[in-house]
A and B are shown apart, each in its own frame.
Chain A
């Protein structure tokens, strides 16, 4: 196991300046919470890049929520670039953003708020930063929701997405099966059991490991995810483990242990259906271990609003590679946190 340095702190203790921040436009209250905090704390923000998903904007306009959606324009005084993207074609967005200034300048430190990004996009962006834009570390911001939207009771009624779903590999996270044709599927459990079932059928693993977010962002969430995935949880052959729902490094460690145990013999597939911090841990594991494949159910449409209000905003310093340089830089940025295995 290689040591990685990390830092996880409240965004309230964030650095006094941020060179370049990328956020996704959204209507959830948490979408611009870091921007509000930046303004109230007087943090020096160099440049803001807002990724505007065209499908989301269209839905927002139809729903008459444009004011919320474009609130970022009133929150910052720095230069703002709006970059459009389509859920249906992440590659087009990645190929476009590669040459976007100031991202193309290796001296610019990049921060990204993943709260309102869909997973295919923030996974791809982090990989792009590490492999194409030659960054060693990245600052990641995440704001916890106060609660999720459950439309009809707690169980089987949460939907972050709707409509038909296609299970796909995340762009560029294709893994390398080599001779290990038998698969182990690791599912970070979310609230939508049907999606996990779809993925299991598509991947056809010889072994399935379920990772539940515990402690959860709220006490009941860990139970909702177990009940929503009852079929998988109830299968004796499926192993169950936990990792903290708001800590990507806890998630990283849990996945790293799985890799240590099964990585040599099996083709490891990870389905990040849990919280975004858990998914961030999966993303880092896949960045550090290219043999790992990331599988995700790609929906036809995402729900417009699926969280209510917000709680803590977190600030993570994540190493994008396992190189010495990454470790050094992450250590330098890590304020008060130690190396962790």
Chain B
């Protein structure tokens, strides 16, 4: 078997750095795979007048999504499909101009002794130039690719546009417009270059106010060019809006609020990416529903019904197919490598191995003598653990032994059914995590299902866990890898490495990274304590409730930053903080960190930790914050029975 053609199929997946062909190669159409994509159709992207803002966590696929609709990708796709470029663009109803100003550039519009107001004006001018340039570039590329240079009126359109930009003797070409825009951008660059050494005024040769140039392009196009294609919309695909400072966002917000006919805005930003809703106009704000519509990637990717797992399978399939060895050998289903789902029974067996007495010894103070002999079932550590739990919660050894006997005999009695239900749905994962804690071993994280859960709706997380799994497998078991096997141990190692790196990265987050790291560590440790509770009173707890409005600066900003960077995730609907309490906002510590703290990989709901502003301050600033419930106390019998009732035992 030739394996020379093998390379890690998940090695490069950052959409920012992909070229047009790669975007097309790796594209998985969410409109098709997910069915309901926030209620939008592909054509809405080009024709819906109101700005649409796509929110999503880091790595959720926003950039891939926005870049796919840009003119260079769409035109290449039409070419690949052998379709008419002109007809294709007319049918779509718009042409996309992808605009991304990188963070370092955005951050250069500050300090150096220049006032904030002056920087805001300079930035407004710069943004207008950059957006105009991308629109012109997209139009020019379309005209060239579709061979439309001879279209009547086009020459006068380029001439008029050049004149608007202050060109004295335009030659009626797109190059003339682009050259002029480049030289105007160069003026800003020169200013940014010189200002750290010497304070001076910015004096552009053609000052542009916000929204003064971009809306003129479609207007001029319609005026000068009579062809059908001139009636299309300009679709500005503005990415990484969260990188804009508050003052810069005011400029963009103004564009969104006062967008003109035939220029539509599609914006990609992180969750909580808005630093302000204000515009440059005094006392004017943009408002959801009135000025823009919202679509949250994580929401529809993170729900079972949306087909997120099918989406991940399709993304992985494309990656695996690109490697000829894997394609030739039919190894294009990621589940073949990772397994469909984990086997908790096997894992429990491995954890307990031939030391089944240890779990009984762990609770010997609370168990009657002879409990091991009465309750132990050979090679069924989960059943053993469940039995111990029943007794710890106040049931008699005799009744539990009877129930186990009925369950083992396959009887359908009430007691046997209860065990069946508890072991299959309710406590299985909790018990394995508890077993891992008792046997002082690490919980394993493996299988496609587990990786999908850990990724929490963020495609990039899933791809990174796959990349690390394939990388480790290549070194540790290349033969197995090339035959479509990656062991649970290797997958677990990858998941743990991924989780550790994600957690380390939190420290470096520019907005309150140190506080967020402390918060993540505290939350992880608190939930870890709940997971290690021998009475399993709060199974798989990884959520908390908080009224964000209670938070004071800077903790409110830090908390929003935690959402922005997906350190925590907000549940999309209000829920009860705990049984019997009122509805409130619920948050989950990112499941990506679960392997670090040995937590569940799923979100179960039910009982949550309830935090207030004081708690959050402590979580962000102090070490070793403890759970709010006293987990050290053993349940007394009455309390235990009460609790068991609540948990349906």
Contact = CB atoms under 8 A, between A and B. Distances in A.
A90 interface: yes
B460 to A, nearest CB: 10
Interface stretch (B38-46, B385-393, B405-413, B501-509): B501-509
Interface in A123-138: 124, 127-128, 131-132
Interface of A: 89-92, 94-95, 98, 124, 127-128, 131-132, 156, 162-169, 171-179, 194-195, 197-198, 200-206, 208, 231, 234-237, 290, 293, 295, 297, 300
B199 interface: yes
Contacts of B105: 169, 174
A163 to B, nearest CB: 5
A79 B195 CA distance: 31
A202 B510 CA distance: 13
Contacts of B17: 200, 204-206, 208
Interface string B107-120: 11001110000000
Interface of B: 7-8, 11-12, 14, 16-17, 19, 100, 102-105, 107-108, 111-113, 178, 182, 186, 189, 192-199, 467, 471, 501, 504-505, 507-514
A113 to B, nearest CB: 22
Contact of B108 (A128, A174, A177, A235): A174
Contacts of B16: 201, 204
B134 to A, nearest CB: 9
B186 A168 contact: no
A92 B113 contact: yes
A299 to B, nearest CB: 8
Contact of A202 (B7, B102, B189): B102
Interface centre among A172, A174, A206, A290 (most CB of B within 10 A): A174
Q: Is the interface of A mostly helix, strand, loop or mixed?
A: mixed
Contacts of A179: 178, 182
A165 to B, nearest CB: 5
Contact of A167 (B104, B195, B197, B504): B104
B313 to A, nearest CB: 24
A179 to B, nearest CB: 6
B196 A202 contact: no
Contacts of B467: 231
12 contacts: A94-B197, A95-B113, A164-B510, A171-B112, A173-B193, A174-B193, A194-B508, A203-B102, A204-B14, A235-B11, A236-B11, A290-B193
Given A163-B514, A166-B107, A169-B108, A95 B508 contact: no
A5 to B, nearest CB: 26
Nearest to B103: A202
A164 B508 contact: yes
B504 A194 contact: yes
A175 B185 CA distance: 12
B14 A200 contact: yes
Contacts, number: 119
Nearest to A295: B104
A178 B186 CA distance: 7
Given A89-B111, A95-B113, A176-B189, A164 B511 contact: yes
B7 to A, nearest CB: 6
Contacts of A132: 197-198
A173 B513 CA distance: 27
B66 to A, nearest CB: 13
A205 B112 CA distance: 28
A90 B198 contact: no
Nearest to A93: B196
Given A89-B111, A167-B107, 12 more contacts: A95-B196, A131-B197, A132-B197, A169-B192, A174-B189, A194-B508, A206-B17, A231-B467, A234-B8, A234-B471, A235-B12, A237-B12
B195 to A, nearest CB: 7
Contacts of A290: 193
A201 B510 contact: no
Given A94-B196, A131-B197, A206-B17, A164 B509 contact: yes
Given A167-B103, A203-B102, A91 B510 contact: no
Nearest to B59: A201
Contacts of A201: 14, 16
A195 B103 CA distance: 14
Nearest to A195: B508
Q: What are the 8 closest A-B residue pairs judged by CB atoms, nearest first? A: A164-B513, A204-B16, A171-B196, A91-B112, A91-B196, A166-B510, A165-B508, A202-B103
A165 B516 CA distance: 13
Given A89-B111, A169-B108, A95 B11 contact: no
B104 A206 contact: no
Given A95-B198, A164-B513, A200-B17, A172 B193 contact: yes
Contacts of B195: 91
B305 to A, nearest CB: 31
Contacts of A176: 186, 189
